[in-house]
Amino acid sequence: MIRYALRRLPSALAVLAVGSVVIFALLRLVPGDPALILAGPDASPEALAALRHDLGLDGSQIGQYFSWLAGILTFDPGRSLILGGDIGSLVLDALGNTLILAVSALLVAIVLAFTLSTVSVILDRKWLNSAVTAFGTVAVAIPNFVTGAILVVLFGVVWAILPAGGVPRKGFLDDPGISVQYLLLPALCLALPIAAALTRFLTEGLRSQLAEPYVTTARALGISRRRIVLTQALPNALPATVTVLGIQIGHLLGGAVLVEAIFAWPGLGHLIERAISTRDYPVVQVMLLFSVALFVLIQLATDLINAWLDPRIRLGGRA
């Protein structure tokens, strides 16, 4: 497993390197001068030149890139131009809230997908299969911002049984009961499309496994359908589902931008939205690279889990 992981590292590092170059280059093509935005339109040329020097914008593009990359590698990403404060502190403050939301949504999605898939395959009722298919279609078809608006109107305004947005004032650890109330709506909004995709792939994987010869043999031996699904079909269907899960986690992080905006959730999505709207390019630059790194780590973790579940993958990786 360690050798397989080491074989995957060079490609992951190459993606990060290419991503950093692309991000740096694209932001330099965006219209607007950060120094002019910071100093204001009435600033004198001398003041603008001095500010560009202080921000390190008067050097060559290559020099600016390597200076920025050195700051990233030494955990000193610089300071925000508009929002104010150290970029590392801004990211860390927002990261905790996003992780809480993302992990909660992921757990909800996994529980929903596992329950719906296994129950529908074990019971194998036409009405239940139709209901599960309808759930998947509706959950994928409706965008997050529509689902979020519906949840806010119903549970936050009409019935007023859950907070319509924000986070607990005293933190998530102060009162778990209150924290769950704040988490429920945004986590459910973020989890529904992920759960729908996972349900579809896991259900199809289980049904494909039930058509295999070993299942026919198990049935001939008198083993129940429930036991076959849970102990034999499910482990064989998991590798493909884990791959889909890794892709869906990326979609989950992308959807978090809209969900955090709808529910006033002060996470990474809210931070990057503020940075883009105010043209705070250093923050946007770091956030985009952070997103690429996160996607690379998720993909690497997905490959390792698949290799652990299916030894043929890591054995093939050694060849």
Instruction: Phi first, then psi: give them for residue 5, nearest 5 degrees.
Output: -65, -40
> Hey, CA dihedral for 72, 76, 82, 85, is it positive or negative?
positive
Instruction: Phi first, then psi: give them for residue 86, nearest 5 degrees.
Output: -75, 135
User: Does 166 fall in a domain?
Assistant: yes
The pLDDT profile of the chain, 319 residues, written as one tens digit per residue, is 677 777 778 888 898 899 999 998 888 777 766 677 666 677 778 777 777 777 667 777 888 888 888 889 888 888 887 787 889 889 888 888 988 998 999 999 999 999 999 999 999 999 999 999 999 999 988 988 899 999 999 998 999 899 988 888 888 878 888 999 999 999 999 999 999 999 999 999 999 999 999 999 999 999 999 999 999 999 888 888 888 888 788 778 778 888 988 898 988 888 888 888 777 888 888 988 988 888 888 888 877 777 777 666 655 544 3
User: Does 215 fall in a domain?
Assistant: yes
Instruction: Phi first, then psi: give them for residue 79, nearest 5 degrees.
Output: -115, 150
Q: What is the pLDDT of residue 28?
A: 77
Tell me how far apart the alpha carbons of residues 299 and 244 are, in angstroms, rounded to a whole number: 10
Tell me how far apart the alpha carbons of residues 68 and 144 are, in angstroms, rounded to a whole number: 34
Residues β-bridged to residue 79: 86
SS3 state of residue 287? helix
Residues β-bridged to residue 86: 79
User: Does 46 fall in a domain?
Assistant: no
User: Does 306 fall in a domain?
Assistant: no
User: Does 58 fall in a domain?
Assistant: no
Split into its structural domains, the chain has a count of 1
What are the residues whose beta carbons fall under 8 Å from the beta carbon of 99, sequence distance 6 or more?
none
pTM exceeds 0.85 for this model: no
DSSP letter assigned to residue 156: I
User: Does 188 fall in a domain?
Assistant: yes
Q: What is the pLDDT of residue 317?
A: 46
C-beta contacts of 277-282 below 8 A and 24+ residues apart: 278/82, 278/83, 279/30, 279/32, 279/34, 279/37, 279/82, 280/80, 280/81, 280/82, 280/83, 281/27, 281/30, 281/34, 281/81, 282/34, 282/77, 282/78, 282/79, 282/80, 282/81, 282/87
122 Ramachandran zone, left/alpha/beta (phi>0; psi -120 to 50): alpha
Tell me how far apart the alpha carbons of residues 66 and 20 are, in angstroms, rounded to a whole number: 10
Q: What is the CATH number of the domain that holds 140?
A: 1.10.3720.10
User: Does 80 fall in a domain?
Assistant: no
The residue range of the domain holding 188 is: 90-279
H helices present in the chain, as ranges:
2-29, 34-39, 45-55, 61-73, 87-123, 126-141, 144-151, 176-210, 213-220, 225-228, 234-262, 268-277, 281-309, 311-318
DSSP letter assigned to residue 56: T
User: Does 304 fall in a domain?
Assistant: no
Q: What is the pLDDT of residue 318?
A: 46
